[in-house]
Amino acid sequence: MDVGHMKRFHKVVFAGGGHAHLYSLKHAGSLIREGAEITVVGPDRYHYYSGMGPGLLSGIYTPDDVRVDIQGLVEKGGGRFIRGRVTGIDPHEQKLFTDAGVTVNYDIASFNLGSHVPTESIQGAETESLPVKPIDNLAALRQAILSMAMTSIVRILVIGTGPAGVEVAGNIWRTVKESGGKAEIVLAGTEESLLPRLPLKAGLYAGESLAGRGIAVHTGCLISSLNKGTAHTQDGRNIPYDLCVLAAGTRPNQVFHGSGIVTAGNGSLVVNSYLHSRSHPNIFGGGDCITLDAMRLDMVGVYAVRQAPIIFHNIRARIRGESLKEFVPQKKYLQILNLGDDNGLLVYNPFVMKGPWAFRLKGFIDKRFISLFRQY
């Protein structure tokens, strides 16, 4: 049993307002009543829910539909919000640093910084492509497609054959179709099949869906560089594009690098079953920016959502000097992809099903989740 120290903590800082922190931010007033000062540090007052990102791209949802006002959420409970991106941490002095030059002191810190799509692996990607993260990039992509589709046939390349790439390609198709325009859409990735980490049937269903709408799929396609509207592959092929979307290779943000905090090989924060740092027990974390020391989890939002009440409980237990609660990951989880044609692809390993009912179920689940954190 891991028992919290009897020291009274006061400054509690949440770095990032993602899935794993939303529960704590909603209940910030409870922590404040325990004597804590609550501060949230984030690059924007809004957190965009990734599960509704493809629907944002295709216009099923507006930006207001898919985002939570984390500044309003924490301020309603009596906390404060600091706008800035966390760039580093000094665990000895217990300070966080932001890109705005602000230093934030903490007694307890929790990190939910998410992940990003790195551009370094493809030459020219930094200037030639639009990553799917942050999620609000998809709203910008939608506007770019609508503008270009009005005057020409738009050539759009999506890099990444995992769930993000499949959903983005399918919802680009929907955007173009509903605009009355035309596009040539290509989905390309290094893996030898679509959705390689899901059951085989999922990739087959996704491939049939995309091919049936004229979306070209190139698997086993390693793109080495992007240059002035042409993607060059390692085997000598050229793929022309007007817009290039990067939807592959997510990795955690690297704020822990060089801090002395124990990290995994990918730079993520290593935490134990109580979701606190293996080397610094007053540092907690959840979502894509952590690695459990006992097992490796997929980078999916369901784990962050399940970690959220554990983080809240354990921070409150630290303040009170009480016992912590363990996070026990579920062995299986439900995943539903928005294919962009009013069909959902439901995966609950080993079961795979596709249909409009799955799309409606996904919409119900997503709307219900985000409604939990609305400010009315």
d(Cα 181, Cα 174) in Å, to the nearest integer?
10
Beta strands across the sheet bearing 230-233: 223-227, 230-233, 238-240
Per-residue model confidence (pLDDT) at position 374: 82
CA-nearest of 359, 326, 320 to 341 is 359
Domain containing 297 — which CATH number? Answer: 3.50.50.60
Which tops the pLDDT comparison, 296 or 241? 241
Q: Does residue 134 form part of some domain?
A: yes
Mean pLDDT of 306-323: 96
Q: Does residue 279 form part of some domain?
A: yes
Q: Does residue 369 form part of some domain?
A: no
Residues 110 and 147 in one domain: no
Residues 59 and 157 in one domain: no
Query: In what helix (H) or strand (E) does residue 292 lie, and over which residues does it extend?
Result: strand 290-292
Residues 245 and 255 in one domain: no
Residues 101 and 20 in one domain: yes
Per-residue model confidence (pLDDT) at position 299: 83
- The tens digit of pLDDT for each residue in 119-133 reads 888 999 999 999 999
3-state secondary structure of 217: strand
Range of 198's domain?
125-249
pLDDT band at 5 (very low <50, low <70, confident <90, very high): very low
What is the chain's alpha carbon radius of gyration, rounded to the nearest angstrom?
A: 21
3-state secondary structure of 312: helix
Residues 130 and 241 in one domain: yes
3-state secondary structure of 295: coil
d(Cα 261, Cα 129) in Å, to the nearest integer?
33
3-state secondary structure of 6: coil
Q: Does residue 345 form part of some domain?
A: no
Residues 142 and 256 in one domain: no
The identity of residue 261, as a single letter, is: I
pLDDT above 80: residue 375: no
Domain boundary among 212, 227, 249: 249
Residues 231 and 313 in one domain: no
Q: Does residue 362 form part of some domain?
A: no
Can you read off the two tokens belonging to residue 184? 């040539």
Can you read off the two tokens belonging to residue 356? 């409009």
Q: Does residue 95 form part of some domain?
A: yes
CA-nearest of 195, 194, 176 to 185 is 176
- The tens digit of pLDDT for each residue in 222-281 reads 999 999 999 999 999 999 999 999 999 788 888 999 999 999 999 999 999 999 999 999
Residues 72 and 164 in one domain: no
Domain boundary among 216, 232, 249: 249
Residues 283 and 211 in one domain: no
Strand partners, 90: 95
Q: Does residue 331 form part of some domain?
A: no
The identity of residue 228, as a single letter, is: K
- The tens digit of pLDDT for each residue in 137-158 reads 999 999 999 999 988 999 999 9
Q: What is the pTM of this model?
A: 0.92
The set of residues, in sequence order, having a beta carbon less than 8 Å from that of 364 and lying 6+ positions away, is none
pLDDT above 50: residue 164: yes
Domain boundary among 225, 249, 273: 249
pLDDT band at 201 (very low <50, low <70, confident <90, very high): very high
Residues 241 and 260 in one domain: no
d(Cα 45, Cα 55) in Å, to the nearest integer?
21
DSSP state of 121: T
Residues 184 and 280 in one domain: no
Number of domains in the chain: 2
Residues 64 and 138 in one domain: no
The set of residues, in sequence order, having a beta carbon less than 8 Å from that of 334 and lying 6+ positions away, is 302, 346, 347, 348
Strand partners, 230: 227, 240
CA-nearest of 276, 282, 263 to 327 is 276
Per-residue model confidence (pLDDT) at position 22: 96
Q: How far is CA 68 from CA 25, 199, 225, 299, 349, in A?
A: 11, 33, 36, 21, 30
pLDDT band at 9 (very low <50, low <70, confident <90, very high): low
CA-nearest of 151, 144, 169, 147 to 159 is 169
